Amino acid sequence: MVKWNNLDTLASFKELSDTKRVSLQDVMSGENGAERVKKYSVKMAEGLTYNYAAKAVDDEVLAALEKLAEEAQLAEKFEALYNGAVINTGENRLVLHHMTRGQLGNAVKADGVDKRAFYVEQQERIADFANKVHAGEITNAAGEKFTTVVQIGIGGSDLGPRAMYLALENWAKKNNLFKMEAKFISNVDPDDAAAVLNSIDVAHSLFVLVSKSGTTLETLTNESFVKDALKNAGLDASKHMVAVTSETSPLAKSNDYLAAFFMDDYIGGRYSSTSAVGGAVLSLAFGPEVFAQFLEGAAAEDKVSANKNVLENPAMIDALIGVYERNVLGYPATTVLPYSQALNRFPAHLQQLDMESNGKSVNRFGEPVDYPTGPVIFGEPGTNGQHSFYQLLHQGTDIVPLQFVGFRNNQIGTDVVIQDSTSQQKLCANVAAQIVAFACGKSDDNKNKNFKGGRPSSIIIGDQLNPKTLGALLAHFENKVMFQGFVWNINSFDQEGVQLGKVLAKKVLAHETDGALKVYSDLLNI
């Protein structure tokens, strides 16, 4: 039977807290470091590897983490989740994003339907629609093909799909699988929508409106902006728009859309890239087969994440080490550093995924917790980050754990040899050097040039970023966040903190304000 207990009540956490601290400088130097890199490595799906040699752990710490995983029932809780338990207790909902890409356990029925069958049906409907668009069977009013797809959404309806699109754009072009350019409108700032609309041919553009409720203020505002642009161009908006929404929303049966594809309440926005939210735009951009490969990679990594052996479960060990760093070592932030330009928006997606999921100060029962939970997440692609904020990471007063992602080969295949090495080799050389530099540091009599080291990092390594490896990478971090939420005994699947600002914004627009809110409203000429 699954039990939900606060982290600080677990005997294994006390044991973890009492373990001897590991000196990274010592264990990562010389031959010790070489053997450690070989040892502290675990296989992921799709040829990826998670290596945590440069984390401040040893066999004693790992043994304590294994005990913590067992006492916190991480494997059992994941099993309960994918078998249809009500894990999102705040909203009394199942959590089913894993089922959009596969079925790990029993059939799950909700709302009178088999949920796996429901998600597959939506994927197939999207595939059929996308194929017809690509074949010219669904066209604009003039009978001409659509050349651009524009997603209108906010939060998880934007960050995840946008990051996934950018991650695969160059790969698709290189492999002759690029079907349509994709653009994204998210910010209610009219400059965002205007800039996108000015960059496209609206007559040959298909717009995907994403709103689960069909009432999201920011998204509907941007929809109106787009509809005005279509009307001003003499176009029928209903011939240019598709909805991704719930079956019960006002958008579901509206004649304002060419088609409506469905999601449900069991998938939060930040977990929705493998649902219709990501499926529509990615299938239109690259073709349904590419999206299917992306799902296949995510499903394969989910299976790895279900492994009950902690040391063979990369998402679980990554999560547990993160808890150790947050709750024992006291590190308040984590930085995500993909050495791949294609992943330039991946840190922003992970920021929402992690901070919206685990940025909680009460447990699953609404009781305050007496320990830190989710860290601050930030990041930037290497090598850009090296010339931006690495100075603080190397020599700042705070230790910030680092998560690197690197690939042996680039996506486009174009490169140049300069000084006996290619650009890709230089990129990979940089990430290897940074891991060791952060861990081992450098002694110098000039204190300005002294590097203390002891800065922990991990790296996920693969051969190339493609749909399958991207799916596996996404699933890894989704499952990592889930496991950490389990350890902290918080609900990682609601986001009540997002709602207050929305409520107050509506009051401002209705001029129902007083006090500071009224003064700020006046200052902003609302």
Positions annotated as catalytic residues are 356, 387, 502
Which tokens go with 218? 């920011």
| Cα four-point dihedral sign 255, 185, 278, 351 | negative
Go through the chain and tell me how many residues it has.
526
Rounded to an integer, what is the distance from CA 1 to the centroid of its chain? 30
Sequence-distant (6+) residues with CB within 8 A of 31 are: none
Task: Determine contact, residues 204/136, Cβ cutoff 8 Å.
Answer: no
Q: Which helix (H) or strand (E) holds 334?
A: strand 333-339
CA gap 172, 166 in Å, rounded: 10
CA gap 508, 526 in Å, rounded: 8
Per DSSP, helices labelled H in 44-158 are: 59-71, 74-82, 115-135
Q: How many CB atoms lie within 10 A of CB 430?
A: 15
End-to-end CA distance of the chain: 54
Q: What are phi and psi of 433, to 5 degrees?
A: -65, -40
DSSP 460-516: EEES---HHHHHHHHHHHHHHHHHHHHHHT--TT--GGGHHHHHHHHHHHTT---HH
- Alpha-carbon distance values, 231 to 96, 226, 235, 236 (Å): 39, 9, 5, 7
